[in-house]
Structure 1
Amino acid sequence: MTELRATDIIDPARARALQAALGLDADIGAGDALPPFFHQLYFWTPEPPDRLGRDGHPRVGGGLIPDLGLPRRMWAGGRLRFDRPLRAGIAAERRSVLEDARRKTGRTGPLGLVSLRHEIWQDGARCLTEWQDLIYREDPDPNAPRPVPPVARRDEVETRPMNFAPTLLFRYSALTFNGHRIHYDLDYARDVEGYAGLVVHGPLLAQMLMLMASQGLGPLAEFAFRATAPLVHTETAALCRNGSDLWVRGPDGRQCLQAEARPA
């Protein structure tokens, strides 16, 4: 099994920039523990323009992810296990492997299913393990019926409304070095991939739910999430929690993302 390794200094300035973008107090300093999921800001894998796909992501087939012949990439979900805090100002290493990659036929046509595993190590100890699930699809058929998204729960005990303006989407894309054009190129998102607007990053929604969970439950041992319907920049979302269950509800009541947290 091929393993790719990348090292980075966990720059506290980058963490403070995300705090500011999310409207939080920008107070992370060297030696401080990062909030959960902030490791997304590090271990960039920049590629020159001639190695990018049409969507702005690094072209598949040259790294861990094989070319499955399907052009549209989506972040389907993920799972995280937290072993110890990742601390700002200290070098860290990410170790990545491809766990699975296959094609299958779903209700909407052919699918490519890709699973990656990342481990983040710092000072000789593993801080966290992240499993990422990606889906690749064909271009949308404008004549095909739209899939019906699941209906979100209404039994939350905590809810927070949140808007995802284009500026926030741009800043999150920049901080995570995510070139996917669906998050900042409205013409591409609408005309090529068939979305109603700029798409809110699945990891950004998961980030907000992780912060909500850690504030309500304390430090996290595990967190799992799955995207179920896209949310676009013109919509106000409801971030919801009932105990260890969390979800994002769109303005029409659809479930955009569901998650489960396990406190430490």
Structure 2
Amino acid sequence: MTSQHKAYVFGLSAVLAWSTVASAFKLSLAHLSPAQLVLYASVFSLLSLLAILGWQGRLATLPAALRQHWRRSAILGAVNPFAYYLILFQAYDLLPAQEAQAINYTWALTMTLLAVPVLGQRLKLQDSLAALVCYSGVLTIATRGAPLALNFSNLSGVGFALLSTLLWAGYWLFNAKDEREPVMGLTLNFLLSLPLTLLWCAATGELTPVAWQGIAGAAYVGALEMGFTFVLWLSAMKLTSSTARIANLIFLSPMLSLVLISALLGEAILPSTLTGLALILGGLLLQKLPIPGLRTARA
């Protein structure tokens, strides 16, 4: 098997795993509060990341990395996993899975828009048009097909979903200059965010016994979505001869996710969700396409 073939295997495995998480979030939140899911999923994610470091023979380097990078790790850990997943799970708790997961896919565009004030980059006309298409998709989903009426199905849930994209995009922008090795950096983030999550759950009275179904769901979410899948995707990006080929695999995930949401959760997929998701994916594709004139024109 060539390196490119291995990259496809790793990339497709990651996409398949990510397509299950919307259903896993909703099933877990039937037994856990958003904060409890963050807590238990973070524990399992940390265990999976430590296991990966052990398999790589790098576990002994963790104390030195912690001493060197504890400040950055504490700050980034407060964003991801603590704040990001707390808000994302709140969105999933308030919205149908099909709506929350579709809105969450706008984070890539949010990162482009956020790069303007954070990195001082100039906004291109193509990015502005892509944003218009993407967020018209969000509006279609949020109003369930009646965007002109502005009658939101759950305004708080939509707000949490959009805020989660802002946090996730901001995390990756600031992470771009991170000198830490990615797996080690993520391990340190989870390690230092865990006390923060414990304190939050203690302050909100959520350190209570939970059902085994909730623990099982948190184990799946933490080990797979937060931990192991990240390593699969990172491996795919390192092995590929074309980053774009692997990056484009992510467009398979939302449709697979909708199939699983319908099958596992019994949600009837609304026409407004399909229309809105098509607009969101169309906007993301528009942002990537090499369109003469648009790519260099400024908004």
Q: Which has the higher strand share?
A: 1
Where relative contact order (Cα < 8 A, 6+ residues apart) is larger, the structure is 2
TM-score by length of 1: 0.28
Computing the radius of gyration from Cα coordinates, the structure with the larger value is 2
Q: Which has the higher helix share?
A: 2
TM-score by length of 2: 0.26
